[in-house]
Amino acid sequence: MDLGMTERVRPLVEAVRSMVEDEIAPLSVEYHEEIGRHPSGNRFALTDRQLEILRDLKGRARERGLWNFWLTDSARGYGLTTVEYAYLAEEMGKVPLAAEVFNCNAPDTGNMEVLERYGVDWMKARWLEPLLEGEIRSAYVMTEPETASSDAAQLAFAARREGDEYVLNGEKIWISGAGDPRCSVYILLACTDPDADKHRRHTMFVLDADTPGIEVLRPMQVFGEDDAPHGHMHLRFTDVRIPAKNVILGEGRGFEVAQGRLGPGRIHHCMRAIGQAEKALQMMCERGIAREAFGKRLAELGANYDIIANARMEIEQARLLCLKAAWVMDTEGTRAAAPWISQIKVVAPLMAGRVIDEAIQMHGGSGISQDFDLAHMWTHVRTLRFADGPDAVHRRQVARAELGKYARTGGRDG
Amino acid sequence: MDLGMTERVRPLVEAVRSMVEDEIAPLSVEYHEEIGRHPSGNRFALTDRQLEILRDLKGRARERGLWNFWLTDSARGYGLTTVEYAYLAEEMGKVPLAAEVFNCNAPDTGNMEVLERYGVDWMKARWLEPLLEGEIRSAYVMTEPETASSDAAQLAFAARREGDEYVLNGEKIWISGAGDPRCSVYILLACTDPDADKHRRHTMFVLDADTPGIEVLRPMQVFGEDDAPHGHMHLRFTDVRIPAKNVILGEGRGFEVAQGRLGPGRIHHCMRAIGQAEKALQMMCERGIAREAFGKRLAELGANYDIIANARMEIEQARLLCLKAAWVMDTEGTRAAAPWISQIKVVAPLMAGRVIDEAIQMHGGSGISQDFDLAHMWTHVRTLRFADGPDAVHRRQVARAELGKYARTGGRDG
Amino acid sequence: MDLGMTERVRPLVEAVRSMVEDEIAPLSVEYHEEIGRHPSGNRFALTDRQLEILRDLKGRARERGLWNFWLTDSARGYGLTTVEYAYLAEEMGKVPLAAEVFNCNAPDTGNMEVLERYGVDWMKARWLEPLLEGEIRSAYVMTEPETASSDAAQLAFAARREGDEYVLNGEKIWISGAGDPRCSVYILLACTDPDADKHRRHTMFVLDADTPGIEVLRPMQVFGEDDAPHGHMHLRFTDVRIPAKNVILGEGRGFEVAQGRLGPGRIHHCMRAIGQAEKALQMMCERGIAREAFGKRLAELGANYDIIANARMEIEQARLLCLKAAWVMDTEGTRAAAPWISQIKVVAPLMAGRVIDEAIQMHGGSGISQDFDLAHMWTHVRTLRFADGPDAVHRRQVARAELGKYARTGGRDG
Amino acid sequence: MDLGMTERVRPLVEAVRSMVEDEIAPLSVEYHEEIGRHPSGNRFALTDRQLEILRDLKGRARERGLWNFWLTDSARGYGLTTVEYAYLAEEMGKVPLAAEVFNCNAPDTGNMEVLERYGVDWMKARWLEPLLEGEIRSAYVMTEPETASSDAAQLAFAARREGDEYVLNGEKIWISGAGDPRCSVYILLACTDPDADKHRRHTMFVLDADTPGIEVLRPMQVFGEDDAPHGHMHLRFTDVRIPAKNVILGEGRGFEVAQGRLGPGRIHHCMRAIGQAEKALQMMCERGIAREAFGKRLAELGANYDIIANARMEIEQARLLCLKAAWVMDTEGTRAAAPWISQIKVVAPLMAGRVIDEAIQMHGGSGISQDFDLAHMWTHVRTLRFADGPDAVHRRQVARAELGKYARTGGRDG
């Protein structure tokens, strides 16, 4: 169980780290300052400067071969293991724009994974290729308003077969990335047979984002922010017609696709969250040394030594657990890794939230202001506690796996 | 030690509660939707509709005699005790606009307290009267950039005596309420003698907000929000000249005034935070009953019964502690109440944060969106953990008081 | 809602506090050192010296009128309120022997309460009188081996009616106080009709402890201690015959009696636990001042200021909640107080456990040794987390009460 | 960084696990029941049956080659790595007697390590050989009464040079294992030059346990238990004379020896604590499945799924951290591993305490009784929070290492 940084990935980590710190970080600030400055007044339109920043940074990354690392165990990418990718993803987590620069950003990686694994040739040519090139972006269209997403039976957005087409009707919400004008393709889950067995009711589709009949009702806010231009959109589909061939894997197999998609995506979020915690600890230490009060360094006041030590101990433990989950994915596959992924999915965001919270406290008012990244990091990791399944659902999975060791019926659904 | 709701205050609580729920809550939503709609594009300008809402609601409150409750133990207000006020403040905490409607909003109450207690007649006529009438608003100008506010020795913003005037120079930050165009008066702490004893260096001034030489550098953001039109402004003072008679209480007595101001303000924040926690618990229960997953009510899934019970137990304890601190203020004065206020200042925001966090989790993605108040409540109570002194400083006060019981030197500064 | 110490009870609190500290504490140590020194080698036999210590201390207490405080709202005792009693019970919690010296010890107070409230005259004459005089002791015989006591349906110990008698058969466990040779009377719950409705199956009996057929199987250990001579006995009843008139209140009304008994008993445990936490905090402070390391007082090292402050804040909150529960009992009765008692039943032992744990940590190895009371306090308060209902059951009660506010069916049993 | 179970160690782990479960566990119960049954009445004397049990089990272990695993990276033992040993130690942690059966018990392993690493030939022949054979036992004599052991400057037990001898005077406390009649040798730290530099004042000695002048004052109790026959003794040394050649490594180098000894010992405790947590989780699950209340399995009630999941997540994280600390020891040495060992020294006992606490709660009263191991496990892991340095001292080390990354002076002693 080698969880260390391999010799192969070490230079990549170094290259990514220095590019993130030295090149992406300052431009990421500028990129975000541009939001809302588009002449149209539309916060979800990209300004020329934003496009230029993206083109420039992505160009540099490709040139240096720092691209598509997430494509593990594949001849198309580096063929990295998930463990190796973890070390890279952690670095990318430290600056908001970084993952996209290396074409390793959510939800595109998950969507590319779906197309790579379950897509047929024409789908790959039409959507996977430009995604792998970083030319377009994508969205994953699953969550519905007023439903508990973790309970599949409640997802009622309808796709009705009519001849060679399906007709889609209903609302979808929290469609992350759908705000971006470059978002061209949707991977969408719809109910094709409400009377079928719970896990056979749904079908996964792929469709162009500009298919007629799709309307943005509003951008959802996350703690008051609209995350423009990425966005988390509330969409309405009215008689949206798509060819029947746009079904992925087969009618009624939507959950099979969804499960295959979720494992890697969840763990990538965790890797980046660990990177954010690491950055927050660094900021905490730097502040603790630089700032003085009552004639002492901040670090030496009150419980600050304990706070720093606890942060270090929490980060190390979460990182190792994340690496172990990655290692189980690499060696035994996503299915076997499921309880491990559930574990880290609960652990990492909670841990990162606590560490960032303490970093904020050490920064006083500045910590929640625009002068530091901490405020955004704090609200962001908070969202991870329900994105891709709330903590309660993952804890339940972990407990069922545990009880299942002792009694065949121990883990029964109840 | 009567901590109960008195017969005298009960009808007031009822009147406030129903006005908050039925009348203020819907208009509060509309008020906040108006932000940014001023023709000038200035988020800190009030639209006609905003002014109308405020005028309307405040008019109704005054008409019903629901006004200036905070003025405890005074012939001018109701002469309520702080304990009685706590029950009212809790209700006002439940909706953002409510406190202002009853003229009980921060920082105005604290500033009025200063003018009432330490101001001379002309100051009262000029600023206290219109504040008590709710005609103007005020700001408290203390915090400075790049300093630990809790360490008085670091506050270096300078007021230099020149004949009959003082000349102010320096920067102040996090000046809450200074964004509001109705903000007309500042209570400001400045260093008048950097060589004096640590607690005699500073002087408190009162001045018109439009005194020449004051410039808004930028609005500070709180978790990405500018809290317009209230705002938390970063100000620069350049050769701002004010008459020497604008000194409050006397040169070098700034900290005496600041201490007198802080006690009540801190406890009012806590009372409102408890109201927010109570509201979050209500939302949690309502959601737990209304929403179903896996064929069961949400409340019956996972650890939700425990989560609800813990929230109830935490709220009750914090409320009782807050009431006790209020009771000590009422019976023994602000100085004696200091360690009790420090206790509740630590306890209430942390407790409210935890309860709101669980309410968010029970709401899933909606919990952090614009569809519920929870997101704003959560970030707001987080700010209370450093507003008016960070937790660490208050814990230190509590510990020193405790150790001081056992050894005269136990509580020495160190 | 007056939660303060009344003028009436203040001198009693002072008298109890000084007697506990000055007179009982040293003899309590001697009393416990005597355990195991009886010539018979029987740890559950009282030595002459133990009997002398008890006689002496109880004599002094009675002489000073410090006796039977627990008998609230009654002409026979002081007629104290439960709130007033709380202040006394807290002091008695600080030294193991203290409650008994004032005839306020568990399980006798609960048993006396049963006899006082539900007993008929001959029962009172035979058992209540000598209990009130402190001449005999008693036990409450409810828990059964291998059953979840909180689920009444599982209690199967049988009482079969035969003419004018009942014949008892079965095992009971954790019978606290049954080890003491002075224990003369049992209040016992038995199943008289297993086919009846769940809450009508059981009947409460009173019987002499030396009724033939009762056998002590073994003393149960609590973290390795047998708590001799008090003891927590595992008993077997074999054809134990008792007169039918020994039924309390009526056949099938056992749970009604049990409920009436539990409320006060639970809250008394909490009051004493708060006293123990208060004592632990005092020890923590004294140690923090007296002991030095690395040239500083222990109190000033690491996070100790925060630890002390947190202890103070937790204690104050729990005490106020306990007083509020007592006040609800006083003003609205035990039934209305039930959710409040459940709250404090969860809060107080957990809080005391945390405070004592920190006090232990501040004492290093000594903290767990025989040189301080802390080790025993820590294990003792741990037992309170399932005595009289485990935390989970009480949390459930609190949650059901909470949900019940919002929907008639919200609190349904599920 | 291979943290997995190697192929080499896997069969050893299996052999140890099955021997612990099937053979040692039942005899361990019998062994402990024998305590206090020696005809002399002395709880610290071993009965014939105890000696027989030990002889028998150790004989079987040696026969199977399950012996001295702790001797990592050495030609004399298996030459296991510390990572490999961790998997074995975890199994040994599950039953009290197990470590001794495999000659891997504290404090002997630490003492053997000292003799192996720093001892000269005659010392090895006289004491190390019989220790490696499991024929004698040893004690580590460092802690002194009324001192903060972590502050070396306070250790004042004196060794005065007189010609070819040293004369020892003073008291030592918490000398674990010194109760056992087979304990024949002491490794002892004494102050040889109180005026020297803080870390050069002390010298490490090795001496026979029966050297004249050593007196047992009393056995220290741990939560009321004397841990006989092992024991934690309070010793007095009066003019105890030992040859000068009994100095280990050299006068004034006592701390150098102590540091070398502590690293492995600390991590071994952690490994065993993780084994105990794992066992507690297993008990929790088995109980949760076997026991019913209110018509449901215990596991399905309240927050029990969450409790089980949290236990699993905590254990996995702590185990990985422990393995990483072991790996750093293996690859970079004890000095480099110090902050990692400090981390796990804080994490593992706290984690194990929480998991065992929940297991107790799931077992109700039985959980704290003699019917399950949980009570002893709980108090035992509690002692690990100050054994070999209290949490606060280890947190301080971790924080200093962390701050040291950012500023040379960041980690200064303060």
Query: Are B122 and B103 contacting, i.e. CB atoms less than 8 angstroms apart?
Result: no
Residue A76: what pLDDT?
72
For the segment B257-275, the average pLDDT, to the nearest whole number, is 88
Mean pLDDT of D309-334: 97
B197 burial (CB, 10 Å; 0-12 / 13-18 / 19+) is: exposed
Record: contact D222-C375, CB cut-off 8 A = yes
Strand partners, D176: D232
Q: A305 and D400 in contact by Cβ < 8 A?
A: yes
Judged against a pLDDT cut of 90, whether residue D154 lies above it is answered with no
Domain covering B137-248, topology: Butyryl-CoA Dehydrogenase, subunit A; domain 2 (2.40.110)
Determine if the peptide bond prior to B349 is cis (ω within 30°). no
Min Cα distance B303 → chain D (Å) is 4
CB-based burial, C376-405: b 16+ in 10 Å, e otherwise: bbbbbbbbbbbbbbbbbbbbbbbbbbbbee
Q: Is the per-residue pLDDT at D43 higher than 50?
A: yes
- Residues A321, D318: contact at Cβ < 8 Å? no
d(CA D259, CA B276): 53
Minimum-distance CB partner of A368 among B150, B151, B222 = B222
Of residues D83, D56, D55, D78, the one with CA closest to residue D67: D78
Decide if pLDDT at A154 tops 90. no
Chains A and C form CB pairs within 8 A to the count of 11
**pLDDT tens figures, B52-111:** 999 999 999 999 999 999 988 666 767 899 999 999 999 999 999 999 999 999 999 999
**Best C234, C350, C370, C384 residue to mutate vs chain D (most D CBs within 10 Å):** C370
Interface test with D, best of A320, A322, A351 (most D CBs within 10 A): A320
Whether B273 has a pLDDT exceeding 90, the answer reads yes
> How many Å lie between the alpha carbon of C57 and the closest alpha carbon of chain B?
29
Which is more confidently placed, B263 or C17? C17
Q: What amino acid is encoded at B336 in this protein?
A: A
Q: In the predicted model, what is the mean pLDDT of chain B?
A: 93
Q: For the segment B174-190, what is each residue's pLDDT rounded down to a tens digit?
A: 999 999 999 999 999 99
Give the burial string for A11-26 (b: 16+ CB within 10 Å, else e). ebbebbbebbeebbbe
Q: Residue D314: pLDDT band by 50, 70, 90 thresholds?
A: very high
Task: Please name the amino acid found at residue A342.
Answer: S
- C138-248 is classed CATH 2.40.110.10: yes
Q: What are A's interface residues with C at a Cβ cutoff of 8 A?
A: 302-303, 305-306
Tell me the average pLDDT across D137-155.
Answer: 88
Tell which residue, C358, C355, C393, has the closest CA to residue C277. C355
The pLDDT confidence band at residue A148, using thresholds 50, 70 and 90, is confident
Tell me the shortest Cα–Cα distance from D263 to chain C, in angstroms. Answer: 20
Angle, CA C329 vertex, CA C336 and CA C266 arms, to 5°: 95
Span D331-339, average pLDDT: 92
C10-105 maps to CATH 3.40.50.150? no
Percent of chain D scoring above 70 in pLDDT: 97
What's the pLDDT at B410?
42
Residues from chain D contacting residue A403 (CB–CB below 8 Å): 285, 288-289, 299, 308
Contacts of A122 (CB under 8 A, 6+ apart): A245
Give buried/exposed letters for B202-241 (b at 16+ CB in 10 A, else e).
bbbbbbebeeeebeeeebbbbbbbbbbbbbbbbbbbeebe
| Residues whose CB is less than 8 angstroms from the CB of residue C100 and which lie 6 or more positions away in sequence, other chains included | C54, C58, C134
B-D CB pairs within 8 A amount to 11
Tell me where in chain D the CATH 1.20.140.10 domain(s) lie.
Answer: 255-404
Question: pLDDT tens-digit profile of C287-323?
Answer: 999 999 888 999 999 999 999 999 999 999 999 999 9
Buried b (16+ CB within 10 A) or exposed e, A44-77: bbbbeebeebbeebbeebbeeebbbbbbbeeeeb
Residues facing D202 on adjacent strands: D191
pTM of the model: 0.95
Question: In the predicted model, is pLDDT for residue C413 greater than 70?
Answer: no
> What pLDDT score was predicted for residue D408?
56
Torsion of Cα atoms, C369 then C373 then C374 then C379, to 10°: 90
**Least confident residue range of B234-238, B325-329, C49-53, D409-413:** D409-413
Peptide bond into A219 cis (omega under 30): no
d(CA B166, CA B190): 10
Tens-digit pLDDT profile for residues A334-379: 889 999 999 999 999 999 999 999 999 999 989 999 999 999 999 9
Q: What are the start and end residues of each CATH 2.40.110.10 domain in chain B?
A: 137-248
Whether the predicted pLDDT of A159 surpasses 90? yes
Residue intervals of chain D classified under CATH 1.10.540.10 are 10-105
User: Residues of chain B with pLDDT > 90: what percent?
Assistant: 86
**Does position A36 have pLDDT exceeding 60, yes or no?**
yes
Chains contacting chain C through 3 or more C-beta pairs under 8 A? A, B, D
Q: Residue D154: how many CA atoms within 13 Å on its side-chain side?
A: 16
pLDDT of the residue at D140: 96
Supply the pLDDT for residue B151.
80
Taking 50 as the threshold, does the pLDDT of residue C56 lie above it? Answer: yes
In C, minimum Cα distance to B311 occurs at C399
Q: In this predicted model, what pLDDT tens digit does every residue of C193-223 receive, in sequence order?
A: 999 998 899 999 999 999 999 999 999 999 9
Query: Average of pLDDT values for A302-317?
Result: 97
What topology does CATH give the domain B258-404?
Butyryl-CoA Dehydrogenase, subunit A; domain 3 (1.20.140)
What pLDDT, in 10s, does the model give residues A260-278? Answer: 887 788 899 999 999 999 9
Task: Please tell me which chains touch B, using 3 or more CB pairs under 8 Å as the contact test.
Answer: A, C, D
A–D interface: beta-carbon pairs under 8 A: 132
Domain with CATH 2.40.110.10 in chain C: 138-248
Question: Span B316-343, mean pLDDT?
Answer: 96
CA-wise closest residue to B308 among A379, D20, C389, C407: C407
Q: Which residues pair with C186 in a beta bridge?
A: C139, C207
pLDDT at A35 > cutoff 90: yes
Among C245, C115, C256, residue whose Cα is nearest residue C186: C115
Q: How far apart are alpha carbons D3 and C71 in whole angstroms?
A: 63
Instruction: Pick the residue from chain A with its C-alpha nearest to B377.
Output: A223
Compute the nearest-CA separation of B339 from chain C (Å): 10
* Overall average pLDDT of the D359-386 stretch: 94
pLDDT of residue C408: 56
The Cα B304–Cα B291 span in angstroms is 13
Does pLDDT of A412 surpass 50? no
Q: Which residue has the tokens 């009460």?
A: C401
Find tokens 């782990």 and name the residue. D13
Write down the pLDDT at residue C411: 40
Count CB-CB contacts under 10 A for residue B32: 15
What average pLDDT does chain D have? 93
A158 pLDDT band, cuts 50/70/90, is very high
d(CA C231, CA D255): 47
For residue D114, pLDDT beyond 70: yes
Closest-CA distance of chain B to residue A371, Å = 9
Residue D412 pLDDT more than 70? no
CATH architecture type of domain A255-404? Up-down Bundle (1.20)
Dist. CA A234–CA A225, nearest whole Å: 15
Stretch D10-21: mean pLDDT: 97
Q: Would the pLDDT of C342 be above 60?
A: yes
- pLDDT score for C263: 75
Contact C148 D382 (CB under 8 A): no
Percent of chain A with pLDDT over 70: 97
Comparing B212-221, B237-246, C34-43, which segment has the lowest mean pLDDT? C34-43
Is residue B154 very low, low, confident or very high in pLDDT (cuts 50, 70, 90)? confident
In the prediction, which pLDDT does D413 show? 38
* Cis before A229 (ω within 30): yes
Among candidates C2, C288, C414 on the partner chain, residue whose Cβ is nearest the Cβ of B403: C288
Q: What is the pLDDT of residue A410?
A: 41
* Backbone CA torsion sign across A178, A181, A182, A184: positive
Looking at residue D73, its pLDDT comes to: 67
Say which of D291, D361, D386 has its CB closest to residue C364.
D386
**pLDDT category, B266, cuts 50, 70, 90?**
confident
**Where do the CATH 1.20.140.10 domains begin and end in chain B?**
258-404
Chain A: residue nearest B413 by CA? Answer: A294
Section D256-284 average pLDDT = 91
